Amino acid sequence: MDTDDVLRTLGIDPAALDPAPPWAPYRGTSLARIDGSRPCARCGQPARATRVVDVPGLGRRWLDTCRDDFLAASRLLPSRMPSTVEGIVADLRAAAAEAGTDLTIVTDDVAG
């Protein structure tokens, strides 16, 4: 389920979400959004959590949510964390390539 499907499942209009910056927001920026002045994108209660979601066709958007809807979205949104060693290595390789640097991975695994 991609981000667009998750938002549709939760009944959230992606076009109504505030645009987010193209960079990873500083923690203080995220905390400032959840001061209780913004409504949950789903139910309208004061938002207590926020995250940036990448919406196909719209780009990065703030998803401000109450606690319950944060948890509901968390269960549905694809995990950004790799769950296998191969996935972790692929992420490290992609990050090194993006940074234009070499990558050396050293492990203590012993091939059996």
Q: Which two tokens stand for residue 17?
A: 């979400």
In the complex, minimum distance from the CB of residue 74 to Zn ion, in angstroms, rounded to a whole number: 13
CB atoms within 10 A of CB 14: 19
Which residue lies nearer to Zn ion by CB, 67 or 93?
A: 67
In the complex, minimum distance from the CB of residue 72 to Zn ion, in angstroms, rounded to a whole number: 8
Which residue lies nearer to Zn ion by CB, 44 or 100?
A: 44
The angle subtended at Cα 68 by Cα 64 and Cα 73, nearest 5°, is 60
Q: Which chain residues interact with Zn ion by CB under 5 A?
A: 40, 42-43, 45, 66, 69
In the complex, minimum distance from the CB of residue 89 to Zn ion, in angstroms, rounded to a whole number: 37
Judge whether 17 and 61 are in contact, CB under 8 Å: yes
